[in-house]
Amino acid sequence: MTVHFGFNQLNVYVTREYADGSCPYRATYEHEMEHVAAHQRVWLAYQDPLRDAVRRAPEIPVKDSPGTYATFEEGRGKIGEAISAALDPVFDAFKKADEDAQAELDTRESYDGLKGKCTDW
């Protein structure tokens, strides 16, 4: 089994309201890149916990301990349930940690500091 937990592309958008290269554009872009960096830090922190959750899940069949099922559909369902049981709590914790990291960047103080960077908002 291979579990892919990542992203192929991450787009950062800045409103057209700010001219490309202007101070508000650059300040907004830098702020959004802080969000990207926070997301990447949390994502990296959850790589090992996800791997460990799969390794510790005895209900997920592996080469040395295969599962036996009456039908393909039953096997697919049982294995899917086992994978969900192992990974859903870790994904939920990841989402919460990511939301918390993002919220730390979107405080009133953060926005006040952002507004203070430019005079031409």
Mean pLDDT of 98-105: 97
- SS3 track for the chain: CCCCCCCCCCCCCCCCCCCCCCHHHHHHHHHHHHHHHHHHHHHHHCHHHHHHHHHHCCCCCECCECCCCCCHHHHHHHHHHHHHHHHHHHHHHHHHHHHHHHHHHCCHHHHHHHHCCCCCC
Q: Over the stretch 39-91, which tens digit does the pLDDT of each residue have? A: 999 999 999 999 999 999 989 988 888 899 999 999 999 999 999 999 999 99
Q: Above pLDDT 70, what percent of the chain?
A: 99
Per domain, the residue ranges of the chain are 23-58+66-115
